[in-house]
Amino acid sequence: MKRLLCFILFWGSLNLGTSYAQIPGNNSNSPDQQTEETKYERYYEIVLENALSEYYENGSFLVDVQAEVERVLVASGYEVVEELPPLEIENLPGLPVIPPGLKATRTGRDSIKVTGFNSSFRLNQLVIRVLIDTAYTQEDSEFINEMAGMVANADRFRGDIVTVERKIFPKQQRNNRSYSSGKAAKTDTVFIEQPNEAADLDKNEFLGIDWNNPKHLLYIILGLFILALALLIWALMKKAGSDDQDYNSVSEELKNIQAGLEANEKPKDELREFKNDKQAKFEEEKMFIINRTVSEPETIAKLIEGLVNENEDEGLVKAVRAIFSTDPKIIDVLQPYLDDKVHDSILFGLTNIETIPVREKAEEVTEFKKKILAQKTSKNRGADDNHLFEFLNQLTNQQLLHLIRSESDEMIAILLAQLPGDRSSFVLQKLDENKRIPIVLKMGKIANIPISIYKKVAAHFSHKALTVSDMKYVAADGVESILNTIDNLPIKEQQPFVNSIAEKDLNLAKKIRKFFVAFDDIPNVDDEVLQVALEESTTDEIIKALYKAKESIKDKVLSVRPDRESELIVSELSNDQEFTSMEIEGARKNILLLIRKVIKSRG
């Protein structure tokens, strides 16, 4: 019996020990999920606060981080987490442990001890919420949003969320605060004001000046003193100048001319690196080329075409650089005398050329002038090969009137003195009566004008002949001459040319439109006018003109032609025959000329 009782007690003790070993105890080293989440939250809050403090002032933002972790299976042999050695780093996102010595830079919040993250848990999601003051700008808000995501190594695909909200912070925290994303606010600076009675005064600002601030008033008094001193000096200089009125009238007029010319000259920074003699030579050679281009455009055009034909690539580059270095506007003067292909190539080069250094410009201008001088322009030019006002011979009387518009009497007198008597007389008759006598008197006083003044006056008028856009619309033959100019333009450019005239002179444009017909305007032409005009054309010419034309134009033309001819035209147009662009252009121009001829004959 005793043996049985002992055996039962022994068996019960054995089962009790086994059961106790299988029940998990309350081990203090067992990881807790809430504690682990708190570690992550505190870590990222401190990291974000340190990062924001590098750019913004403490007390102007709040950071709150919510972390979510999940338990993962880890082999029991790797349950112990060893403390990592000290790391000498300032702030790196996404570290597996909280770096040693990491402390919050904001006062009033305790730091945390170095504690390793338990490998039994894995970070599943971060919810970062940054609260900023309303004084922050929208750019600051976007910057903080991006920076928080980068510093915390937020993964959007993992489900991490970063939000930035703007709220009104307490007033005492926002006064006298300047938020600047480019300045670091590592320390708070406290300014202790000295007792000052003037500081108690209210600000009285006007025009950005505090009139109650003695410092501002001192600046105002100093500025007024400098202004008064400048006025006094100016008055003394003016008085001294009034004592020199004994100069003759010619000297005064020359000074006025030179002052007016210098006022119109724009300073060029690129010429500052030149010495005075080189600059003068550069400007003189440019003026020579411009004058020669205006006076003899056909000769200069032949010279440029010769350069291109001699070596298409290299010659084209030389021509573009020479024109660009002199004045790109001279291409407009040369356009009627240049081959279309050469003109288009040079114009394309001028549009896409890069800036040329001023020294290279001077070399190009010098070389271009040598080529012009080497070419014999005329047999009857005489000894005066460098006449400054030679370009005036190429201008009509109407263009001369346009050229002297808004000029002073002195400038007009010098210009008219260079013209033959009949031309200067015509121009004088067109001027206002009150200006005729003064200009004639000034023409008699310019005998002693130095050559430097002549050069400046010639350069002024030659440049004006290039730059004044209305010059191309002024002609001696009036509307008839302009219509002839339009007839020689490509079909596609005729209507834009008339539109540009309307922008400058509406009355002139109305006179031109009375006789002008564009190719696209044919459907609006009267049937009788179109029929009479096409009587002088041929069937082949009509076929070429209607090739690839609009259907409305085809229908209009066919409606005024005989049925048999219309069927022939339709049949030819349906065939697969090809015409060159020059053939089509020539046929259309001829038909437009015939239409305009009929319109002119009927008034």
Whether residue 436 contacts residue 428, with contact meaning beta carbons closer than 8 Å, is answered with yes
128 Cβ neighbours under 8 A, 6+ residues apart: 44, 48, 63, 64, 65, 148, 149, 152, 154, 160, 161, 162, 163
Helices and strands in the chain: count of H runs, count of E runs: 25, 5
- Amino acid symbol at 130: V
What is residue 473's predicted lDDT score, i.e. its pLDDT?
46
**Closest-CA residue to 405 (of 482, 469, 448):** 469
What is residue 226's predicted lDDT score, i.e. its pLDDT?
93
What is residue 108's predicted lDDT score, i.e. its pLDDT?
44
* Cα–Cα distance, 249 to 96 (Å, whole number): 94
**Tokens coding 88:** 């000498």
* Cα–Cα distance, 231 to 574 (Å, whole number): 85
Weakly modelled stretches of the chain, pLDDT under 50: 19-30, 80, 89, 95, 107-114, 172-173, 176-200, 243, 246-248, 250, 265-273, 377-386, 469-470, 472-477
Q: For 200-339, where are the alpha helices, taking DSSP H only?
A: 214-242, 249-264, 276-295, 297-310, 312-326, 330-334
CA distances to 49, 146, 219, 275, 512 from 130, in Å: 10, 12, 45, 63, 72
421 backbone dihedrals φ, ψ, rounded to 5°: -60, -40
**Beta strands 121-133 and 61-71: pairing type?**
antiparallel
Query: Residue 205's Cα: distance from chain center in Å?
Result: 38
* Cα–Cα distance, 175 to 177 (Å, whole number): 5
**Tokens coding 151:** 């510093």
What is residue 14's predicted lDDT score, i.e. its pLDDT?
61
What is residue 128's predicted lDDT score, i.e. its pLDDT?
92
What is residue 166's predicted lDDT score, i.e. its pLDDT?
87
Q: Angle of helix 409-417 relative to helix 249-264, nearest 10 degrees?
A: 100
What is residue 194's predicted lDDT score, i.e. its pLDDT?
39
Whether residue 529 contacts residue 602, with contact meaning beta carbons closer than 8 Å, is answered with yes
